[in-house]
Structure 1
Amino acid sequence: MDDYPLLNLFWTMLWFFLWVMWFFLLFKVITDIFRDHSLGGWGKAGWLILVLVLPYLGVLVYLIARGRSMHERDAKQVQENEQAFRAYVQKAAGPGAGGSSADELHKLAALKDKGDITQEEFDRAKAKLLV
């Protein structure tokens, strides 16, 4: 352990961390290039060649030129994923899970007829359903 002081270990870990972060950023940029629907084929090819041939300069230029739209595409992707998830959950829950307004009104009417709820409670619940 005397051959490798603690400061050298720190520097090695720092460089390794930066190296991993660099690859993460490189893959993020390449993914964004292919995800962008506003770029044509030649635009995608040009950015990809720039990023692969001159990686440090290419990624830096890409982030400066298209960083803001990169964030917007990320936000749009998250929103689309969330909508797809909600649609899947609603589909998986089936029609009986949530029920329609008519079904809910029928249940409320049955509760009112049995005397479990008052007319006032029925009217409030009905107003909530119909809004």
Structure 2
Amino acid sequence: MDDYPLLNVFWTMMWLFLWVLWFFLLFKVITDIFRDRDLGGWGKAGWLIFVILLPFLGILVYLIARGRSMGERDVQQAKQSEEAFKAYVRDAAGSSSQSNAAPSAVDQLSKLADLKNNGAISAEEFEKAKAKLLA
């Protein structure tokens, strides 16, 4: 490989990418172990010990055995986060507009802008809510 320095760079980059990918998978699986409500304490402890003591085999077996439910938990958590955000926006917009008339679009946009400026919602969430409001 000494004759091809570019190939050495390629191999180094590939191994670095695989190393980062490995750590991502490891943290994702450990997070999923603790997030699973169906798994008892001993089950969580067993999986965690398996993943830490035999990391490559542990991650592979975990993904094979529990990969589908892992994806379902991710979707469920995303739905819960979205519902919590929507409820928060409804509460924040509804609590300050207790007038007799329905709040105008300008009032609602103003409240959304305040939420964005206070850091309660991100710019992307602001744009989505604004698009819904103006549609």
TM-score scaled to structure 2, two decimals? 0.69
Q: Does 2:57 correspond to 1:54?
A: no
Aligned length: 103
1:47-105 C-alpha deviation (Å, 9 max, x unpaired) = 000000000000000000000000000000000000000011111112465989999xx
Give me the CA root mean square deviation.
Answer: 2.6
1:24-66 C-alpha deviation (Å, 9 max, x unpaired) = 0000000000000000000000000000000000000000000
Q: What corresponds to 1:6 in structure 2?
A: 6
Q: Which runs of 4+ in 1 moved over 4 A?
A: 95-103
Secondary structure of 2:65's aligned partner: helix
Give the gaps of 5 or more residues in structure 2: 104-135
| Whole-angstrom distance in 2 between the partners of 1:19 and 1:99 | 58
Q: Does 2:41 correspond to 1:41?
A: yes
Identity %: 71
Amino acid at match of 2:5: P
Q: 1:76 to 1:48 in 2, by over 3 A?
A: same
Q: Does 2:84 correspond to 1:67?
A: no
Secondary structure of 1:38's aligned partner: coil
Return the structure number with greater relative CO, CA threshold 8 A, min gap 6: 1
Secondary structure of 2:38's aligned partner: coil
Q: 1:95 to 1:62 in 2, by over 3 A?
A: same
